[in-house]
């Protein structure tokens, strides 16, 4: 696959994943688009490969986020919640780390207002 097609494929996949983003698909998709646009002038193939890799990494992170979020929601609803309330603090702080990563990363631009529920 050519680099160009890889980038387009990555973009499509991220857009598809954005549907379930907490806080709304629209927000995620516009930021995603912006991030791709910011790097659209890049011509160095090595740099492009690196950016694609980072995009794939973000994909994995989002998959993990969705899985974790669903797991915790189910666990909270169907199982003993005492343990859960102690863990919620941990979840919020780890999500803060993620939003910090996104903020510093070039793939997604400034997302100071990225709010996690």
Partner 1 sequence: KQWYQRRVRGKRVIDYAVKIRVRPDQLGVVTDGVKHSMNPFDENAVEEAVRMKQKKIVKEIIVASCGPSQAQETIRTALAMGADRGIHVELAKGEEALQPLAIAKIFAALVEKEKPDLVILGKQAIDDDSNQTTQLLAGLLNWPQGTMASVVEHSEGKLTITREIDGGLEDISVKLPAVISADLRLNEPRYATLPNIMKAKKKKIEKIAASSMGIDIAPRLRVIKTVDPPVRAGGDKVPDVAVLLEKLREKGHIK
Question: Least Å distance between CB 17 and partner 1?
Answer: 8
CA distances (Å), 34 to each of 3, 30, 39, 60, 83, in order? Answer: 19, 6, 9, 20, 40
Q: Which residues bind partner 1 (CB under 8 A)?
A: 9, 12-13, 16-17, 20, 22, 59, 63, 66-67, 69-71, 73-75, 77-79
Cβ closest to partner 1, residue 22 vs residue 101: 22
> What does the DSSP assignment read for 53-112?
HHHHHHHHHHHHHHHHHHHHHHHHHHS--HHHHHHHHHHHHHHHHHHHHHHHSSSS---T
Question: Least Å distance between CB 63 and partner 1?
Answer: 4
Cβ closest to partner 1, residue 27 vs residue 75: 75
Query: 106, 38 in Cβ contact below 8 A?
Result: yes
Question: Least Å distance between CB 7 and partner 1?
Answer: 15
Question: Least Å distance between CB 47 and partner 1?
Answer: 24
Cβ closest to partner 1, residue 19 vs residue 47: 19
């Amino acid at each position: 696959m050519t680099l160009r097609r890889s980038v387009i494929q990555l973009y499509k996949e991220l857009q598809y994943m954005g549907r379930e983003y907490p806080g709304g698909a629209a927000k995620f998709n516009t930021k995603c688009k912006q991030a791709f646009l910011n790097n659209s002038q890049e011509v160095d193939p090595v740099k492009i490969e690196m950016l694609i890799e980072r995009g794939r990494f973000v994909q994995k992170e989002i998959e993990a986020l969705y899985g974790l979020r669903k797991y915790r929601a189910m666990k909270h609803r169907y199982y003993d919640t005492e343990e859960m309330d102690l863990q919620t603090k941990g979840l919020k702080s780890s999500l803060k780390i993620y939003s910090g990563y996104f903020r510093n990363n070039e793939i997604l631009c400034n997302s100071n207002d990225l709010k996690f529920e």
